[in-house]
């Protein structure tokens, strides 16, 4: 009789496990992903490839819902929603609240081109430094790509030297590496959401702003800005993040697919961004924008003027160590 009871218990446990396993296999997950760019921006086009990849690879068990053009709020709003679990995923800044270690990418004149940035972004040690710090903030970093080389625009005059920055009032996002850099160059700044920038420039609330060419064009900022300094003063990372608790709740096979899909997103957007920048520059020139590229000597003057920013982040803010900075610098230089 005891053997019969034991056999029944074993069969019951096996059947329960099979039912649980079957339920997990049949479960469908929905990932809402927000960002601020329009549907014509390289970011969104690349996210559509991410959506397609994930849904195909999971057989439709993971559904991606894209929310572009800040329909879910500003970048800080969406990031907070993700942290609270009301939004599963997000692409964009501000970076300090993801991981202060991301400021390693934000140092002025650190990367010469996209290739240099990606040597650092894809380095396992650098990625682990950032992702470990982000997980302590409740976020999972899936991939890091090229968010665009940033340029400085204004409606007053051509900028050729750092002295030309003095007296200008610029809009910046709430990213400390940008505000510190603008202050170091002598400009004043006011932070506001991207959606408000066009009207602020048109009404003269601010004289100028700074952004990648793709964003300047996407937001039509060149329509209200005459002068563009094409200086590549920062290369921002393009970070895809997810609520860590949600990510950790997924089956491991889905986690792998999301990670692979995120790097596909990076690869796709990186390619589109380079192609798009050339196209946008041509159209902005045709529209009458004065786009000035400094000489090597003129650019060096900006580099020298921004030197105190490095010390500020290492020794005053202590967001990263000199060793971490040197590691990223060596990767950027191809060493």
pLDDT band at 52 (very low <50, low <70, confident <90, very high): very high
Tens of pLDDT, residues 171-200: 999 899 999 999 999 999 999 999 999 999
In this predicted structure, what is the pLDDT of residue 24?
Answer: 52
Across residues 137-143, what is the average pLDDT?
Answer: 97
When divided into structural domains, the chain yields a total of 1
Tens of pLDDT, residues 79-104: 999 999 999 999 998 999 999 999 99
- The CATH number of whichever domain residue 124 belongs to comes to 3.40.190.170
Residue 302 near residue 84, CB atoms below 8 Å: no
Across residues 246-270, what is the average pLDDT?
Answer: 98
Residue 144 near residue 130, CB atoms below 8 Å: yes
In this predicted structure, what is the pLDDT of residue 335?
Answer: 87
Residue 237 near residue 105, CB atoms below 8 Å: yes
Q: Indicate the pairing of strand 139-154 with strand 188-191.
A: unpaired
CB within 8 Å of 149: residues ≥ 6 apart: 111, 114, 212, 213, 232, 234, 235
Note whether residue 75 is domain-resident.
yes
Please tell me whether the overall predicted TM-score, pTM, comes out greater than 0.75 for this model.
yes
Tens of pLDDT, residues 279-298: 999 999 999 999 999 999 99
pLDDT band at 125 (very low <50, low <70, confident <90, very high): very high
Note whether residue 10 is domain-resident.
no
The domain in which residue 131 lies consists of 28-332
**What span, in angstroms and rounded, lies between the C-alpha atoms of 237 and 243?**
19
**Distances in whole angstroms, Cα of residue 57 to Cα of each of 48, 248, 265, 333:** 14, 19, 14, 36
Note whether residue 17 is domain-resident.
no
Tens of pLDDT, residues 296-329: 999 999 999 999 999 999 999 999 999 999 999 9
Mean pLDDT of the chain: 93
In this predicted structure, what is the pLDDT of residue 1?
Answer: 47
Note whether residue 138 is domain-resident.
yes
Helices 114-121 and 322-332 pack at an angle, to 10 degrees, of 130
Note whether residue 20 is domain-resident.
no
Tokens at 290, concatenated: 């004065």
């Amino acid at each position: 009789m005891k053997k019969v009871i034991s056999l029944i218990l074993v069969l019951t446990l096996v059947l329960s496990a099979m039912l649980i396993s079957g339920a997990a296999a049949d479960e469908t997950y929905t990932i809402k992903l927000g960002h601020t760019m329009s549907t014509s921006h390289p970011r969104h086009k690349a996210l559509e490839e991410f959506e397609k990849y994930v849904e195909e690879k999971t057989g439709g068990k993971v559904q991606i819902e894209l929310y572009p053009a800040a329909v879910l709020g500003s970048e800080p709003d969406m990031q907070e929603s993700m942290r609270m679990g009301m939004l599963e995923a997000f692409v964009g800044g501000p970076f300090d609240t993801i991981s202060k270690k991301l400021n390693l990418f934000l140092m002025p004149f650190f990367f010469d081109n996209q290739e240099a940035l990606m040597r650092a972004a894809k380095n396992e040690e650098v990625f682990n430094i950032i992702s470990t710090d982000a997980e302590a903030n409740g976020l999972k970093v899936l991939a890091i790509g090229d968010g665009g080389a940033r340029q400085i625009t204004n409606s007053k005059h051509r900028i050729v030297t750092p002295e030309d920055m003095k007296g200008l009032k610029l809009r910046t996002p709430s990213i400390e590496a940008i505000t510190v850099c603008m202050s170091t160059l002598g400009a004043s700044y006011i932070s506001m959401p991207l959606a408000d920038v066009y009207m602020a420039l048109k009404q003269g609330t601010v004289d100028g702003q700074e952004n990648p060419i793709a964003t300047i064009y996407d937001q039509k900022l060149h329509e209200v800005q005459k002068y563009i300094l094409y200086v590549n003063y920062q290369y921002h990372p393009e970070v895809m993040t997810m609520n860590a608790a949600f990510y950790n709740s997924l089956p491991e096979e889905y986690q792998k697919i999301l990670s692979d899909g995120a790097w596909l997103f990076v690869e796709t957007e990186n390619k589109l961004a380079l192609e798009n920048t050339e196209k946008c520059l041509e159209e902005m020139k045709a529209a009458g924008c004065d786009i000035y590229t400094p000489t090597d000597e003129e650019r060096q003057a900006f580099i020298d003027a921004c030197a105190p920013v490095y010390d500020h982040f290492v020794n005053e803010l202590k967001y990263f160590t000199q060793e971490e900075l040197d590691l990223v610098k060596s990767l950027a230089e191809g060493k």
